[in-house]
């Protein structure tokens, strides 16, 4: 079934937080790592309400959360984007990125910035993101994450025109 999007609700904070943790666990991280990430992956009611939720087959399949980062420079932040492991390969991730880029454009942002999990970097690069640096993890001391940017105008075009099969699957 084709995924659809809707606004998140405050009552979904725990559901979305649990989904984020399951999504992170999909990459094989151990229990200690996941415990260290728990606070960063936990949404409050306000964040859940500002999120965009993807549903497929009547179930929550993923979500994204956008934040303003630098209004003067017209830069936004893709603060969170997680897909339920059961929904990987079904276009949910691609749909969420497309929606995030569209919403960024509607807000007048030129750039959408994100700190990517290293396992998800290839996914974002295939959708037009570029690596612009590294940032320290806020959850795990000594760990660095790829800092990626999507050019909102160019990203919108690349996402519309690019045909990628199973874009949600990790690169080999």
Q: Enter the pTM of the model.
A: 0.87
pLDDT tens column, 47-89: 999 999 999 999 999 999 999 988 778 999 999 999 999 999 9
Q: How far apart are CA 114 and CA 134, in angstroms?
A: 10
Could you tell me the two tokens for 124? 């974002």
Could you tell me the two tokens for 137? 């993890």
pLDDT confidence of residue 172: 35
pLDDT confidence of residue 156: 53
- For the ranges 48-57, 136-145, 147-156, the lowest mean pLDDT is seen at 147-156
In whole angstroms, what separates CA 109 from the centre of its chain? 17
Give the closest residue to 129 by CA, choosing from 120, 137, 138. Answer: 120
Average pLDDT across the chain, whole number: 88
Please give the DSSP secondary-structure letter assigned to residue 120. Answer: G
Element (H, E) at 13: helix 13-25
pLDDT confidence of residue 159: 56
170 pLDDT higher than 70: no
pLDDT confidence of residue 141: 86
Q: Where do the domains of the chain lie, and which CATH numbers do they carry?
A: 4-161 (3.40.630.30)
104 or 140, higher pLDDT: 104
CB atoms within 10 A of CB 66: 23
pLDDT tens column, 85-123: 999 999 999 999 999 999 999 999 999 999 999 999 999
Give the closest residue to 19 by CA, choosing from 6, 36, 51, 33. Answer: 51
């Amino acid at each position: 079934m084709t995924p659809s999007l809707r606004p998140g609700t405050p009552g979904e904070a725990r559901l979305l937080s649990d989904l984020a943790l399951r999504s992170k666990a999909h990459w094989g991280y151990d229990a200690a790592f996941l415990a260290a990430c728990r606070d960063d992956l936990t949404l409050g009611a306000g964040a859940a309400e500002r999120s965009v939720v993807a549903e497929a087959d009547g179930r929550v399949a993923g979500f994204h959360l956008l934040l303003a980062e630098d209004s003067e420079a017209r830069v936004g932040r893709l603060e969170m984007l997680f897909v339920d492991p059961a929904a990987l390969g079904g276009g949910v991730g691609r749909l969420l990125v497309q929606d995030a880029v569209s919403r960024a454009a509607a807000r007048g942002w030129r750039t959408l910035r994100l700190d990517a999990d290293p396992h998800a970097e290839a996914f974002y690069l295939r959708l037009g993101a570029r690596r612009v640096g590294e940032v320290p993890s806020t959850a795990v001391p000594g760990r660095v994450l790829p800092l990626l940017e999507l050019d909102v105008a160019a990203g919108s075009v690349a996402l519309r025109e690019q045909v990628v099969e199973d874009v949600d699957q990790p690169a080999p």
